[in-house]
C-alpha cells in the first residue's frame, strides 16, 4: 500500500501545482483506488502486479471504507458549520430598508395610515418606468422621486427646447439642448439623492419594449403620440404589467389604469382604432394650458403611489375625464372587450381585486 499512498500524494501535489479544484484531485485519487480494486479482482493471486499491491481485497475495502467515513464526517461537519453561519447571519441585525435620514424625509407619508412604514418600504422597493419626460412626465418624475420610489426609469429621445419650459417644469433654462432624460435625472437626484434614476435617451420601439418593461413593476405612459401609446399598451398587456396612462389636449385630459391581468380592460379594449390623421391635434398644433399636464401628471403619480402601496380604489375599469376650462371632472366606466386583439378581453374573467 505504500506505493499507492506515494502515488496518491504525487497526484495531489500535481493537482495543486496545476491549480486543479480540490474535488478534481480527490476524483483522481478515487480513480486510482478503483483501478487497484479492479486489479485485485481481475488478476490471479500469483500475479506479480497483484503481489506488488500488497494486502488482500478485504484490506483495501476496509481502507476505502475508512476513507469514505472520514469524507462523510467532513461533509456533516461542513453542513453543521454552514447552518451555524446561516443562523448567525439571520440573528445579526440587518440595516433598515428605510434609513434614519429617509424616515424624516418621508415623515408625512409614514403618518398616513394607508401608507405608513410598510408602504414607504414598498415604494423604495418599487421599480417604475416612465415613458416620456415632457409635459406629463415632468410632474410624474418629480413626484415619484419625492415620494421615494426606489428605482425610476425614464425613456425619451427629445432634447429640452425653450417652448417646453411653459409646462415641462422638471427642466430649466440652463439645460436647453440637453437630452430630456438627463435633464430630468439631474432634477430628480437633486431633489432626492436616495432614489436611483435610469435614463434611456432613445425612443421606445418594438425591438426594445419587451426587455425594458420586463425590468419594471409598473409602467407609466406620458407619451404624446398614438404609436407609442398602442405599443406600450400591447407590450404591457402581454407581460401582465399594469399601465397607468394619461393624455392631454388644450384644456382637457384623461387618465386610466390599463391592466387586463388585474381584471380591467386594456387601452385597445376602449380605443380599438386610432383616430384619423388630423382629428386629434398635438400640443404643438393646438396648444395646451401650461398647468394642465401638471394636473394630469400629478394624478398619474398619485395613482402610482396608490398602486404600489395597494391602497384606495384604482382607476382600473374607470377613466377620469378632466376639463380644466370649465372645472368639470367626470369618471366613466370601462370594461374588457371580448375578442380584443391585444388582450383577448381576458380581464373580464379576473377577480375584482386581482393584481392590485
Residue pLDDT, tens place only, 241-261: 999 999 999 999 999 999 999
CA angle, residues 101, 103, 108, in degrees to nearest 5: 130
Average pLDDT over residues 279-304: 88
- Could you report the per-residue pLDDT of 195-228, keeping only the tens digit for each? 999 999 999 999 999 999 999 999 999 998 999 9
Give percent of the chain with pLDDT exceeding 90.
Answer: 63
3-class DSSP assignment, residue 203? coil
In the chain, what are the domains? 2-91 (no CATH), 126-349 (3.40.50.720)
> pTM of the full predicted structure?
0.72
| Torsional class of 305: left (φ above 0), alpha (ψ -120 to 50), beta (otherwise) | alpha
Which residue did the predictor score with more confidence, 345 or 327? 327
Q: What is the pLDDT of residue 354?
A: 42
Half-sphere exposure of 39 (CA within 13 A, CB side): 18
- Could you report the per-residue pLDDT of 183-203, keeping only the tens digit for each? 999 999 999 999 999 999 999
237 has a pLDDT exceeding 70: yes
Give the max Cα distance, the chain. Answer: 111
Q: Are 133 and 170 in contact (CB under 8 A)?
A: yes
Beta bridge partners of 131: 155, 221
- Could you report the per-residue pLDDT of 86-138, keeping only the tens digit for each? 777 666 655 567 788 899 999 999 999 999 999 999 999 999 999 999 999 99
The phi and psi torsions of 131 (rounded to 5 degrees) equal -95, 115
Q: What is the pLDDT of residue 252?
A: 94
Q: What is the pLDDT of residue 349?
A: 52
331 has a pLDDT exceeding 80: yes
Arithmetic mean of pLDDT over the chain: 86
336 has a pLDDT exceeding 90: yes
Average pLDDT over residues 311-326: 94
With 0-12 / 13-18 / 19 or more C-beta atoms within 10 angstroms meaning exposed / middle / buried, residue 325 is exposed
Give percent of the chain with pLDDT exceeding 70.
Answer: 78
Amino acid at each position: 500500500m505504500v506505493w499507492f499512498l506515494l502515488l496518491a500524494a504525487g497526484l495531489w501535489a500535481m493537482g495543486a501545482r496545476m491549480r486543479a479544484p480540490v474535488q478534481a484531485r480527490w476524483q483522481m485519487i478515487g480513480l486510482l483506488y478503483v483501478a487497484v480494486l479492479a486489479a485485485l479482482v481481475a488478476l490471479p493471486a500469483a500475479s506479480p502486479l497483484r503481489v506488488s499491491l500488497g494486502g488482500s481485497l478485504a484490506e483495501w475495502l476496509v481502507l476505502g471504507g475508512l476513507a469514505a467515513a472520514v469524507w462523510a464526517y467532513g461533509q456533516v461537519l461542513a453542513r453543521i458549520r454552514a447552518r451555524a453561519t446561516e443562523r448567525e447571519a439571520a440573528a445579526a441585525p440587518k440595516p433598515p430598508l428605510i434609513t434614519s435620514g429617509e424616515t424624516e424625509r418621508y415623515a408625512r407619508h409614514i403618518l398616513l395610515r394607508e401608507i405608513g412604514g410598510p408602504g414607504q418600504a414598498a415604494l423604495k422597493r418599487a421599480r417604475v418606468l416612465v415613458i416620456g419626460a415632457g409635459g406629463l412626465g415632468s410632474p410624474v418624475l418629480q413626484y415619484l422621486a419625492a415620494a421615494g420610489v426606489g428605482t425610476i426609469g425614464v425613456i425619451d429621445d427629445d432634447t429640452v427646447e425653450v417652448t417646453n419650459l411653459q409646462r415641462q417644469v422638471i427642466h430649466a433654462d440652463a439645460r436647453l439642448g440637453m437630452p430630456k432624460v438627463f435633464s430630468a435625472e439631474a432634477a430628480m437626484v437633486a431633489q432626492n439623492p436616495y432614489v436611483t434614476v435610469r435614463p434611456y435617451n432613445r425612443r421606445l420601439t418594438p425591438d426594445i419594449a419587451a426587455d425594458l418593461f420586463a425590468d419594471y413593476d409598473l409602467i407609466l405612459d406620458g407619451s404624446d403620440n398614438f404609436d407609442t401609446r398602442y405599443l406600450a399598451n400591447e407590450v404591457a398587456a402581454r407581460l401582465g404589467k399594469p399601465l397607468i396612462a394619461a393624455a392631454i389636449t388644450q384644456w382637457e385630459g384623461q387618465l386610466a389604469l390599463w391592466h387586463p391581468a388585474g381584471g380591467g380592460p386594456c387601452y385597445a379594449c376602449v380605443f380599438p382604432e386610432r383616430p384619423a390623421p388630423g382629428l386629434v391635434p398635438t400640443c404643438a398644433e393646438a396648444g395646451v394650458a401650461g398647468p394642465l399636464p401638471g394636473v394630469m401628471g400629478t394624478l398619474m403619480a398619485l395613482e402610482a403611489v396608490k398602486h404600489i402601496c395597494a391602497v384606495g380604489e384604482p382607476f382600473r375599469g374607470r377613466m377620469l375625464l378632466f376639463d380644466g376650462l370649465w372645472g368639470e371632472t367626470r369618471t366613466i366606466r370601462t370594461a374588457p372587450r371580448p375578442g380584443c386583439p391585444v388582450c383577448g378581453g381576458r380581464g373580464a374573467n379576473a377577480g375584482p381585486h386581482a393584481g392590485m
